[in-house]
Every structure is written in structure tokens, then in C-alpha cells.
Amino acid sequence: MGGRAVETAHAPVRRAGAPRSAFCPGSSVSKPQSKRFRLLQAAVAIVALAPCLAFSQAVEPVDLDVVAKIRHEAFNRSQVAANLKELTETIGPRLTNSPAYVRSSEWARNKLSGYGLTNVHDEVYDEAFGRGWEFRASRVELIAPRELPIHALPKAWTPGTNGPVEGELVRASFKTVEDIEKQRGKLAGKIVLLDEARAYKPADKPDFRRHTEEDLGELQTFPVPQDRDPDAQNKRLDEYRKRQELVRALNTFFAEEGVLATLSISSWDNGIVRVMGGGGRKAGDPEGVPDLVVAAEHYNQLVRAVDAKQAPRLRVDVQARFTSDADLPATSTFAELRGSSKANETVIIGAHLDSWHTGTGAADNGAGVVVMMEAMRILKAIDARPKRTIRIALWGGEEQGLHGSAGYVAKYLADWPAPTDPEQIALPRAFQRGTGPLQRRAGFDRFSTYFNFDNGTGRIRGIYAQENHAAVPVFRAWLAPFADLGATVVTTRNTGSTDHISFDRVGLPGFQFVQDPADYFSHVHHTHLDTYDHVVPDDLKQAAAIIASFAYHAAMREERLPRKPFSERDE
């Protein structure tokens, strides 16, 4: 789009046409002098200008007129709060392939089409991701030796009880597959505690916090990585496989044994129930028995009651069901703001649409979804005309291993040849190790960059450059107009555990923003408290403005965003 461009780097911004003398002393002549004096003065000026001439080659254009329009639209006509309420309180949690996920995808497509975006569609990334599942209610009660409601919620993809069941509460430990035989014949009709009690640990930090200047300063240092252990990845994968083998064996054993239900302790204290998946997502996998996570303070009481030989009994009623018998295809949602002179090149912004099932997926990652949708709405509303196509991606299956983004990258950008080892095939794509050199797809050279938002509600304080040093001055330039909103930091550090990694692992520029912690890791991450009330709408307005500006400027660069050195051995 048109407008007055400025050049920004480590110096104040300068509008086109402003005198260079304001930025490079000695670059202007104030009044006529003798010819000899003028030649001497010109020579001195050239020497003085040399650093500025070198500097001018490194500056990054920033269109402040467009930035101003983005900010005005973001802060005066924001739709993030209204959209987040609809997504989380009308549709609710969005477990991949659940009926609610399907509704959320339709909702997103309708919104994006309404904004005037093009190529709005869903796309399958896995033809047989797994079965649909949902739960409606969970009720657990201690009924002897006294009565007490127990705060517990089921793991995803585990069966319901088909009505209330009652049984004696017992303890059993299963560290390895070999432990199963020690319990065979002992647990029929029982409700089993699987974990030890855990001592309560009082919090020593505020529940909600912003980054301090000390925090941000620390982020701008780079810790030298330790030497790689060549066997570390193999060890991690071996541990993962052993855990998966144990889970499958236990699911089969509990069902055959006639166990009524199993209970585990929440990994967080203060009544917070942190719940993810269990059971059998894939058709044909053993489903197990009703499997619930219990608030730590309630779980500890149950352990003590068993240890004191009080013969505790529980009543459990879980309304949960598989919504399909066969594995269903899983999808992500896309839309575009079509580019002009470089329309076949892409800038992608994204967040994951799926969530876990006990909260409403507001911070993780409804916040990211509505921020990215808002960024696209803003660009369309201000009639932005980017050179490159800007694409929004709302990924599915992130919570189960970055499935949506990894599938997209493998299909359109790059991937290693599919593994042939059955154990590798069983791993999520992001964890698989291929059998040959990286295979680059047609879109690899047409891809510019990917920006991700997935750390809760926290406002943007900067960006992780993922050791892409050539991108650092570019990002500093793009952040400069948002310093008054607290976004100033470009750190060379890496960050992981979300969808930008699918791009980064094949050598493509993929980035996640530095966000204030808020209460993401104290209250909401994968817990039943991940609800609208734990989101700060003003944070999301700020994030949408910054991401809209980053996407626009990435789409307007003469060159693609720089790529860091990459060796296929890095994989």
C-alpha cells in the first residue's frame, strides 16, 4: 500500500525527504565558499558520511502511515474480545476431531469470509487422525467412611461409566509393564489410585505477572548451548515409546481385570486440575476404563484414607463418549489476503485452533486464534495491498504433537522421507526421523516467513529470533513503532513447543513472540481454569496490531526474510 516510507534500525526513524544531516553530521554545506574550500569540505564530508553510507545499506523500511492505520483500527474497532467470547463460551473447548472442533472451524471460516478474505477453506492434514470424543459431566464422591465431593475430571479419549458406579478405593503402582503381573487378579471392581501423595508447595511468585526490565534484559543474553549428547534424542524417544507401551498395556489390563475407574493426581496444586489425554484416540487402540485426574488436595486425602485402612469407597459418574467408531480426517483452516507483484510468495501467521477439553481453551489457544484473525481483519479493513500473499493458518492437532502445522510443512514446503521403522511411524510427525536427505517442495523457495502466537494472553514484549541473526535488525526496525506499547526486545534465543517449530526444523524462518507470562503457567495451561476470565483483551489488541504490522512489512520486503544457516544434520 502507498504511504510515506521511513528507514529504521538502531537510530531514530526518518521520513523520506528529511535532511540526512539530522542523522549524519557534516553531510550538508551551509553557505557558498571558495572552490578549494568546497573541495576540501566535500572530502571531509565523504569521510564523515562513510559510516552513514554503510549504515544506509542495512536500514529496514517501515511504513509509518500503514502502522498508524493499523494501530487506529486495532485500538478503536477491535473485535478480539467479542470473538473470543463466541469461540470459548458459545462453542467451548475444541479437542481435535470433537464436534466442538468442527463447529469452531465453521465459525472461523464464516468470520474470515465476512472480513473479505479469499481462499477460505479447511484442509486435511491427516486422513485418519483419530476418533471424535466429548464429555458432558463428571461427578466423583467419597461415600465412606464419610461423605465428600471430590474435584476430578476425565482425560480425553477415555470411556464414561455408563451411569454411576461404586467401589472400594485401593492403591497400585505401575512403573513398568512388568508391574502389571503383580496386580493381576487383585483389582476387579476396585477404583485405583495410581500416584503417590504429593506434599503441598506454597507458591513463591505472584500468580499473575508481567516481565520486568530485569527479565527482558536477561532475555537479550544468549546462553552458550551445551555440547550435544548424540544419544540424548534416542534416549528421549526410547522413554516416549516405553511410556506409550505401558499406557496401552495398562488400558488392556484394567479393562480385562474389571477395574471400575483409575485416578491420578493433578500436576498443579491449589485445586487446579490439569488434564490432557489418555485412553485410545485411534480406532482399535485399547480404550481402558474411566480415567480421571483429581485435584491434588483431594487426592492426598484419598491416599491417606487408604493408608490408614479406613476402607474408603467412591461413587463415580462420568458422562463421556466417542462420537465415532472409525478414525476421522483432521483439518486446519486457512484464508488469504492475496498479494500483488509477489503473490506466489507467502507470509503465514498462525495459531492452533484445537484445545484441551476441561476449560474453554481461551488462553491456549483461543487468544492466538482471535489475535491472528484480528490481524487479518485489520489489514483488510485498512485496504492493505501487500506484495506477497498473507495467509492465516488455524492449526488442528497442535496439542497432540504439532500435527496440523507439521502436516502443512511436509506437504507444501519440505520434509524428510517417510520413516519405514514401525516405531518411528507411531510417533507424531514432528518427532519422526526420516530415512534420507531433506526433500524440498515447490513452495520452499516461495516461502518468506511464519509468525506464531501461542503463550496465553500476555502482551507482546518482543520476538524470539531463533538464532537467525540476520533477522535481528529487521525485527528491531519493525518493533520500533511499538516501543510505547512495551514491545522492544529482540532476543537471539530459541523457544519451542509450538507450531513455529514445524517451520524452523526444516530451515525455514518461523518465529514465536515474547509474551508477558500473565498466569499462563500458574493457572491456565491445560487446566480447567483456561477460560475467558483469564484473558486480558487489551493485551490481545496490542498483539493483533503488532502482528498485523509484522505480516504487512514481511509481505512488502524486496527480499524474503533472511534464513539462518541450516544443516540437515541439525535435525
Q: Which residues share a beta bridge with 138?
A: 318
Question: Do residues 85 and 156 share a domain?
Answer: no
Question: Do residues 333 and 386 share a domain?
Answer: yes
Domain final residue, candidates 322, 339, 358: 322
- First-residue to last-residue Cα distance in the chain: 39
Closest CA to 287 of 424, 436, 426, 161: 161
Q: How many residues does the chain have?
A: 571
Query: pTM for the whole thing?
Result: 0.89
**Distance, CA of 168 to CA of 143 (rounded, Å):** 10
- Is 380 contained in some domain? yes
For each of the chain's 571 residues, which pLDDT tens digit applies? 544 333 333 333 333 333 333 333 333 333 344 444 444 444 434 334 344 434 434 589 999 999 999 999 999 999 999 999 999 999 999 999 999 999 999 999 999 999 999 999 999 999 999 999 999 999 999 999 999 999 999 999 999 999 999 999 999 999 999 999 999 999 999 999 999 999 999 988 899 999 999 999 999 999 998 887 878 877 888 888 889 899 999 999 999 999 999 999 999 999 999 999 999 999 999 999 999 999 999 999 999 999 999 999 999 999 999 999 999 999 999 999 999 999 999 999 999 999 999 999 999 999 999 999 999 999 999 999 999 999 999 999 999 999 999 999 999 999 988 888 887 777 776 667 667 899 999 999 999 999 999 999 999 999 999 999 999 999 999 999 999 999 999 999 999 999 999 999 999 999 999 999 999 999 999 999 999 999 999 999 999 999 999 999 999 999 999 999 987 654 4
Q: Which residues share a beta bridge with 118?
A: 336
Residues 6+ apart with CB under 8 A from 439: 414, 415, 416, 417
- Is 232 contained in some domain? no
Strands (E), 219-302: 261-265, 291-294
- Is 368 contained in some domain? yes
Contact call for residues 324 and 493 (beta carbons, < 8 A): no
- Is 86 contained in some domain? yes
Contact call for residues 140 and 326 (beta carbons, < 8 A): no
Closest CA to 148 of 317, 313, 320: 313
Which alpha helices (H) appear in 347-402, and where do they start and end?
367-381
3-state secondary structure of 406: helix
Question: Do residues 128 and 146 share a domain?
Answer: no
Contact call for residues 387 and 555 (beta carbons, < 8 A): yes
| Strand pairing report for 460-464 and 510-515 | antiparallel
Question: Do residues 281 and 167 share a domain?
Answer: yes
Cα–Cα distances in Å, from 56 out to 107, 476, 558? Answer: 46, 15, 15
Question: Do residues 123 and 143 share a domain?
Answer: no
- Is 465 contained in some domain? yes
Question: Do residues 113 and 250 share a domain?
Answer: no
Question: Do residues 369 and 308 share a domain?
Answer: no
Question: Do residues 331 and 374 share a domain?
Answer: yes
Residues 6+ apart with CB under 8 A from 326: 131, 283
Contact call for residues 258 and 183 (beta carbons, < 8 A): no
**Distance, CA of 53 to CA of 494 (rounded, Å):** 33
Which amino acid would we find at residue 141? E
- Is 566 contained in some domain? no
**Which strands sit side by side in the sheet containing 14-15, from one edge to the other?**
14-15, 5-8, 60-63
- Overall number of domains in the chain: 2
Question: Do residues 370 and 480 share a domain?
Answer: yes
- Is 244 contained in some domain? yes
Residue with cell 463418549: 321
CATH code for position 173: 3.50.30.30
Question: Do residues 262 and 379 share a domain?
Answer: no
**Distance, CA of 401 to CA of 129 (rounded, Å):** 12
Domain final residue, candidates 300, 322, 344: 322
Question: Do residues 395 and 285 share a domain?
Answer: no
CATH code for position 493: 3.40.630.10
**Distance, CA of 4 to CA of 61 (rounded, Å):** 10
Domain final residue, candidates 284, 301, 322: 322
DSSP code per residue over 23-73: TSTT-S--S---HHHHHHHHHHHHHHHHHHHHHHTT-EEEEHHHHHHHHHH
CB neighbour class for 50 (10 Å; exposed up to 12, middle 13-18, buried from 19): exposed
- Is 437 contained in some domain? no
Contact call for residues 191 and 263 (beta carbons, < 8 A): yes
- 337: containing domain: 79-132+326-400+447-556
What is the Cα Rg of the chain in Å? 27
Strands (E), 221-365: 261-265, 291-294, 313-322, 328-337, 342-352
Question: Do residues 272 and 393 share a domain?
Answer: no
